[in-house]
Amino acid sequence: MQLLYLGPPDTLEHVRAKLPKGFEVHFALDSASADRFIQSCDVVLDAYLGVRFPADRLSRAVNLKLFVTATTGADHVDAAVLAERGIPLLTLRGQRQVLQNLTPAAEHSWLLLMACARRLRAAIQDVVAGEWDRNKYPGIMLRGRILGIIGCGRIGQWMSRYATAFGMRCLGFDPFVDPWPENIERRDLASLLAGADFITLHVPLEEGTQQLLKAKEFQMIRPGAIFVNTSRGAVIDESALLTALLEGRIAAAGLDVLAAEPDVKDDPLIEYAKTHDNLLITPHIGGFSPDAVRHVLSFSCQRIAEFFRL
């Protein structure tokens, strides 16, 4: 059986070891190498998110029987095409036992929040350039500030724990979480945006969250707030975020995701970041930790074995 694996190169042998006997594993890390193997593969296992699987690419996967992602989101895959062909798409969404103690995405969200609060990018750049002027970089003390968490599931709840440890108060918006976390004050979206000093976004990309924050919502945000998005780029109107940054209504933003990723050449937010140090962008590395990746890959390989009853 042929399996196409997309993921960190140093996890390839782990995947081979965890799969049942009889699988021939082909490795890809870009579109060209994925296209080389897509026609013959029976299974795609994706832990990378760096290659999109639109209808035209999936149409060449004539032998495909199963598509598995070692991620909670799969917006890079044309799920409708798979559904039409009766091909299951298995993600990690809802797999609480597997995910509950995985913290890299929340840790990275907190890193971006703190880096924005302390103007870390500019301070490092100036020191490397030979400057040493602490007066240029007054930081924001977190204790006593308010964190607004949009999406109070697993990652949002980890964020609330970190915030509590730093002496912050937490507001949360999430229509679906039940039971509600005790250390987060429930709010509607408008009051959260108006009341928080820091806003972090942790929602899946689906029909109800597409551009959840548009120009209207960015206008509601408390002036001088700091904004962090590590979920998916398309859950916000990125042009509205850019406008808020240009107008100075948002003091700083930290992003680990962009709507156009991985094809981000000439992206307006990246162009802004080239000349403004109040926007930090990382290449969707929030959940990328070798320990965490191996953990979810083991589970994904187990699901493949169960699907084929091996």
Q: Hey, which residues are catalytic here?
A: 232, 261, 284
Closest CA to 47 of 91, 102, 78, 97: 91
> Which amino acid would we find at residue 145?
R
**Cβ contacts of residue 37 below 8 Å, gap of 6+?**
2, 4, 26, 28
What are the two backbone dihedrals, phi and then psi, of residue 114, each rounded to the nearest 5 degrees? -70, -35
What are the two backbone dihedrals, phi and then psi, of residue 122, each rounded to the nearest 5 degrees? -65, -40
Write the DSSP symbol of residue 213: B
Q: Which residues of 8-36 are buried (b: 16+ CB within 10 A; e: fewer)?
A: eeebeebbeebbeeebebbbbbebeebee
Measured CA distances, 253 to 185, 198, 209 (Å): 23, 10, 20
CA gap 145, 138 in Å, rounded: 16
Closest CA to 222 of 196, 252, 186, 189: 196
Helix (H, G, I), strand (E, B) or coil at 150: strand
Which residue carries 């109040």 as its tokens? 278
Degrees, nearest 5: CA angle 224-206-307 = 135
Which residue carries 């945006």 as its tokens? 193
**Cβ contacts of residue 1 below 8 Å, gap of 6+?**
22, 23, 24, 42, 43, 308
What's the alpha-carbon Rg for the chain, to the nearest Å? 21
